[in-house]
Structure 1
Amino acid sequence: MDKIRFAIIGIGNMGTSHALNLCGGEIRGAELTAVCDTNPERLKWVKEHLPESVQFFDTPEALFASRAMDAVLIATPHYDHPTLAVQAFESGYHVLVEKPAGVFTKAVREMNEAAAKSGKQFGIMYNQRTNPLYAKLRDLVLSGELGTIRRTNWIITNWYRSQSYYDSGGWRATWAGEGGGVLLNQDPHQLDLWQWTTGMMPKRVRAFCHFGKYRNIEVEDDVTAYVEYENGATGLFVTTTGEAPGTNRFELSGDNGKIVVEDGKLTFWRLRVPEPQFNAEYTGGFGQPECWKCEIPVSGGDGPQHKGILQNFTNALLRGEKLLAPGEEGIHGLTLSNAMHLSAWTDDWVDLPLDEDLFYAKLQEKIQASSFRKDGGSGKVLDVSGTH
């Protein structure tokens, strides 16, 4: 192949953006050949704004049967991501899925198994992995510059959302329509980066979620979570959509100092002597290791973002390039949000690996009581127009 044919399922906000990038020649070696949406208005937009060569379908089944593409980009509401991905794999297509991987890890695990069985490429739209800031942080941590991690703290409270935002769609901020709030809609990138840059998943989680604290919604809009890691390190994750102005500060403490990511900068307070060594050798009572404040150079702005993931996925299909965001890794960040929800619902610690059956049962209770139910409360949203 000299060009990858893409189809997009869900022409909402993100699907539209991806369609325009593909049709505008922004992705080398890729073209948009088909789209699918159950909303007639979105198909009308496709007909009016995209090239005539782009086929359009009103059901995923018709799209999969068309053989009009090599790869499928899924940009629907969250619940449908795993279901459609499995269908696509079973139909013989490569899959790139929008974030989050799904709503509950049980379905995402089945999606990962279908991907492995298919032998097809599988990616997820974790576009923040293309940000040079986080790529450099990952390099510093995994190369050992920071030493053994002792603490991670991420305050991510600049996700401000007004009541009118939530009122713009009946599915928004409901258990049946969206499957969660700030953790599932706004924070999937940070939850992914939290474990991707450190190379660590916690062993247990204790979270306090406030549901509809600042807005008239049924899901969480304010979260404080504490985690513990196998090596004795601890972590804190604080997020909300109800504060202004917000903060975005990621701080990591290790044996060799402290790294802070904030305001587009990466600062390393580097100890001249690792703390354990200083502690073992120092005999002067009061005192602390000599510390150098190092501004780590990072170039490239915010990186190529969504276009970068699309280009990387295309290159993987054409030339075997390694995926920056393998789809199978989507389960990690979702595990963290599922664990936080389950901890809040049970008012207790949650150990990892997660009890997926218990989480699913608790989620079904929320869905049954949800204000938004389209098919008897199963949590499956029939409208495939994705609006992140």
Structure 2
Amino acid sequence: MLRIGVIGLGNMGTSHADVLARGEVEGGVLAAVCDARPERLEWAREQYGDQVKGFGDAEQMMASGEIDGVVIATPHYDHPPLAIRAFAHGLHVLIEKPAGVYTKQVREMNEAAASAGTVFAIMYNQRTNPLYRKLRDLVESGELGEIRRTNWIITDWYRPQSYYDSGSWRATWEGEGGGVLINQCPHQLDLWHWTTLLKPKRMRAFCRFGKYRNIEVEDEVTAYVEYENGGTGVFIATTAEAPGTNRFEVTGTRGKIVIEDGKMSFWRLRVSEPEFNASYRGLFGKPECWKVEIPVEPGSGPQHKGILQNWTDAVLKGTPLLAPGEDGIHGLMLSNAMLLSTWTDDWVEMPIDEDRFHVELMARIDESRQRRTQGAKA
């Protein structure tokens, strides 16, 4: 059995603890929980019984000998430092998304994971979704040919002002480290990279901060990326559009795939576009195209429980990880690039200047603190 400790009993941490306590992860057992709030520990004792140890300090739990691995479900900034401490104790680690707030911090975490040699995973539960697994399969197998363009419009993250007003830490540079990119879109940014297998070369983005809501971070983003293979991509997101859209379009030399409304459609060319172009001699012809509805397993997959099971199996059986923790840096690199491009009003080469991003982020945290101090004095 893998004895698991959960750090952070917020919404996601509690959900993971419940799944483990109910015995829904084969080979995994909830052995301990950790939270700085005494009332949450008391709740856990009443919910899970005395056999699940409660800790108010993460270091004490890690050093207790009661656990073999940890699930980290704390605020974003805490993910890397807690993971690094866990690795130092020889523990296996599963972190919630995002991997962190800035890639410099996450890179240090990845290096610590490599040195520890334990199993490191990230809660990219959308990788269990049959739609995106099928898309990755079609790209890997060459069905789409060479990818020329990607376009993801993900604007169905509607959040009213009351959502942001529910906690002073929400939508702040110091509390969350960003807005729609870091809080709502980590899964899409990961899937954008994971399904297309493309390497971004440079990014130009336009983020708008507090455009529609009284917040200091981004609530609208439009980004343009150029890939190493010459292809291009667009990513659009906001939390202020209703009803909103979730449409992912990937175009290659052999056709186009669209994922929308839980379905996948493939406009498949009978011959590739370059082949048709080289042989056609008319004026307005185009390749013959067949629209195919791609059969995909029903449902959204095992989601969070699936990642918990996969991580447990990786520890106990050596099963390959579906979402290696080191992969968390890729989606974060995209969101960091979008912010840095906006802050500098310029193109950003990939990989980004991590020191520059950190300096810019810290400057905004300082500005936020000064505004709050001035507001309190007023």
TM-score range, shorter chain: over 0.9
**What letter matches 1:4 in structure 2?**
L
Q: Whole-Å Cα distance in 2 between the matches of residues 243 and 261 of structure 1?
A: 20
Work out which of the residue numbers 31, 34, 37 in structure 1 matches 2:35: 37
Correspondence for 1:252: 250
Displacement of 1:300: 3.5
Displacement of 1:163: 1.0
**What letter matches 2:52 in structure 1?**
V
Q: Whole-Å Cα distance in 1 between the matches of residues 77 and 7 of structure 2?
A: 13
Correspondence for 1:97: 95
Correspondence for 1:145: 143
- Normalized against structure 1, the TM-score is what? 0.94
Displacement of 1:310: 0.2
**What letter matches 2:244 in structure 1?**
G
**What letter matches 2:261 in structure 1?**
D
5 Å-filtered alignment, 1:129-208, equals: 129-208=127-206
Structure 2 counterpart SS, 1:34: strand
Correspondence for 2:117: 119
Correspondence for 1:336: 334
- Normalized against structure 2, the TM-score is what? 0.97
5 Å-filtered alignment, 1:271-350, equals: 271-350=269-348
Greater relative contact order, per chain length (Cα 8 Å cut-off, separation 6+) = 1
Displacement of 1:373: 11
Work out which of the residue numbers 59, 65, 68 in structure 2 matches 1:67: 65
Q: Whole-Å Cα distance in 2 between the matches of residues 357 and 29 of structure 1?
A: 41
Q: Whole-Å Cα distance in 2 between the matches of residues 101 and 196 of structure 1?
A: 15
**What letter matches 2:72 in structure 1?**
I
CA deviation vs aligned residue, 1:286-327 (integer Å, no higher than 9, x gap) = 110000000000014100000000000011111100000000
The percent identity for this pair of structures is: 69
Tell me which moved more, 108-117 or 36-45.
36-45
Correspondence for 1:367: 365
Q: Whole-Å Cα distance in 2 between the matches of residues 112 and 373 of structure 1?
A: 35
**What letter matches 2:14 in structure 1?**
T
Q: Whole-Å Cα distance in 2 between the matches of residues 7 and 135 of structure 1?
A: 29
CA deviation vs aligned residue, 1:126-165 (integer Å, no higher than 9, x gap) = 0000000000000001110000000000000001111111
Displacement of 1:372: 9.8
**What letter matches 2:78 in structure 1?**
D
**What letter matches 2:235 in structure 1?**
F
Q: Whole-Å Cα distance in 2 between the matches of residues 198 and 243 of structure 1?
A: 27
Q: Whole-Å Cα distance in 1 between the matches of residues 291 and 181 of structure 2?
A: 33
Q: Whole-Å Cα distance in 2 between the matches of residues 65 and 251 of structure 1?
A: 47
Correspondence for 2:376: none
Displacement of 1:371: 4.8
Are 2:203 and 1:214 aligned? no
**What letter matches 1:349 in structure 2?**
W
Displacement of 1:200: 1.1
Determine if contact 1:85/1:111 at 8 Å carries over to the other structure. Answer: yes
Q: Whole-Å Cα distance in 1 between the matches of residues 13 and 240 of structure 2?
A: 27
Determine if contact 1:124/1:326 at 8 Å carries over to the other structure. Answer: yes
**What letter matches 1:217 in structure 2?**
I
Correspondence for 1:237: 235
Q: Whole-Å Cα distance in 1 between the matches of residues 241 and 228 of structure 2?
A: 33
Displacement of 1:237: 0.1
Work out which of the residue numbers 12, 18, 21 in structure 2 matches 1:14: 12
Displacement of 1:40: 1.7
Tell me which moved more, 339-348 or 43-52.
43-52
Structure 2 counterpart SS, 1:66: coil
Tell me which moved more, 33-42 or 99-108.
33-42
**What letter matches 1:23 in structure 2?**
A
Determine if contact 1:174/1:371 at 8 Å carries over to the other structure. Answer: no
**What letter matches 1:304 in structure 2?**
P
Where do 4+ consecutive residues of structure 1 move more than 6 Å? none
